[in-house]
Chain A
Amino acid sequence: MPRHVVATVDEIAPGTCKIVSVAGREIGVFNVDRTFYALINRCPHEGAPLCRGPILGRFESDHPGEYRLTRIGEMLRCPWHGWEFDIKTGQSWCHPDSVKARSYPVTVLDGETLAKGPFVAETVAVTVERNYVVLEL
């Protein structure tokens, strides 16, 4: 699978997302606590630009009236209808087994390794001193 260099590691701060265009697709690249994840920027529900939604935690409860916030920074809420997705897996909250946003494997590679090729870097200049976020499609 071709490697697409989409950003330097420093470019996407923890807790943020950069939307990149790769092989005709818009993909959101997320930095969750210094690990990178990638989801297609299209909600499986009605095609909304999913990755423009807010990054949140999981609002959970075992019992009416009790509330628990977990996995802070690991959930994505669709900007339109509010469906919640696990950034790490793309699974929807409500139908985790059957409704997912497509996710893509992401790796971090240093410039020297990358320079040995092959890779595609349409918008990012690759130098040996830096580290890069790489998508495999």
Chain B
Amino acid sequence: MQVLVPYLDEYWRAHVLMRGLERDNYGLAAVPANAPINVRPDWKPAKGAAGTDPDLLCQQALDGFATRFAICNVLHGAQAIFSEDLSAAFCRAINDWVAAEYLDRDPRLRASIVVPMHSAELAAREIERKAEDTRFVQVLVLEMGELPLGRRQHWPIFRAAERFDLPIGIHAGSSFRHPPTNLGWPSYYLEDYVAWSTGFAGVLNSLISEGVFVEFPRLKVVLMESGVTWLPAWMWRANKTWRGIRAEVPWLEKSPADYAREHVRLTVQPFDAPPRADQLQRVLEEIGCDDMLLFASDYPHWHYDGTDALPDGLPADLTRKILVDNALKTYPRLSL
């Protein structure tokens, strides 16, 4: 929080300092900062939390992978603050901070606009403000909030994002307005982590059922840190459901899987790959669309060692699409 104080406007700086909020830890409970999965040991700086040293990030995440562009996603509790205005103030500060401390430092860096999830109106305003800086290529929301993401209350966010050709980046995690599973609160972080991929099925069911892609036909969403191999089972069940229950959501013109292949992208970290090569091959065939996968290092999270970021056995042309083409098509601003 300390680092954000200079980026608050005069009113909010005075307000925050009076309340001592800069001393509070607003890290997301959904992403425990020191859990092994969130800190690769060789990516931890000598001082401070992983990912907080921009020079180290450029050296490790960019130089290390010979990256052309890297999109910075700030996972922070600012998005989850109950007071909408305080949430918006912190999100504005985060966006200005990432521009100054990261984007200005290295021309390869890009960022997502962090928005207050629980006020669509304020979120739309922040999108409009920050979209002027074309180094912001995406809007960032958390996977689990107070309402399913497809609900009409969120539509001002999608409207603003579509207007500026910004995909919605939906990152694994939760503001924990609700338990992360529909059975209630699990005991262990491992359970929460595994629950993120399950939760994305609910996200897609919401976005598609509510008709978000009918209302916003140019909108794309990117599921980040969702796992990958859960996708075919979701497609089959979603399509089966639609064939029988279509009349409840009559604005859908095609199957859920068809909407997903057109509008939904997934980062490949973690992949949750199967143990056998033939299983991987089959899962890729079941996904049935080479355009969906986007490369991610997920720096500084620990899903692999060295630069061994992709599962073995991916066909060469798919690899090329994952590394380059799919991202360029998904993020039009990368080509500006």
The answer to whether A and B interact is yes
| Contact code string B230-266 (vs A, CB < 8 Å = 1, else 0) | 0000000000001111110011000100000000000
Q: On chain A, which size bracket covers the interface? A: 10 to 19
Q: Are B243 and A94 in contact (CB under 8 A)?
A: yes
B167 at the interface (CB under 8 A from A): no
Q: Which of B215, B245, B250 is in CB contact (< 8 Å) with A67?
A: B250
Instruction: Determine the distance from Cα of A60 to Cα of B246 in the docked complex, in whole angstroms.
Output: 10
Interface core residue of B210, B214, B247 (most chain A CB under 10 Å): B247
**With a CB–CB cut-off of 8 A, which chain A residues contact B214?**
63-64
* Residue-wise interface mask of B (289-315) relative to A, using a CB-CB cutoff of 8 A (1 in contact, 0 not): 000000000000000000000000000
**Which residues on A sit within 8 Å (CB–CB) of B251?**
61-64, 66
| Chain B residue nearest in CB terms to A68 | B250
Q: How far is the CA of A53 from the CA of B255 in the complex (A)?
A: 23
A64's partner among B210, B245, B247 (CB-CB below 8 A) is B210
Flag the segment in A13-21, A80-88, A108-116, A129-137 that touches B: A80-88
Interface size on B, residues (CB 8 A): 14
Among A62, A64, A84, residue most surrounded by chain B Cβ atoms (within 10 Å)? A64
CA–CA, A60 and B253, complex, Å = 10
Are B250 and A94 in contact, CB atoms less than 8 angstroms apart? no
Contacts A60-B250, A63-B251 supplied; 11 other A-B pairs, CB < 8 Å: A45-B243, A62-B251, A63-B211, A64-B215, A65-B152, A66-B251, A81-B243, A82-B245, A83-B244, A84-B247, A94-B246
Binding site for A on B (CB under 8 A): 152, 210-211, 214-215, 242-247, 250-251, 255
A-B CB contact pairs (8 Å), 20 listed? A45-B243, A59-B247, A59-B250, A61-B250, A63-B211, A63-B214, A63-B215, A64-B214, A64-B251, A66-B251, A67-B250, A77-B247, A81-B243, A82-B243, A82-B244, A83-B243, A83-B244, A84-B246, A93-B246, A94-B255
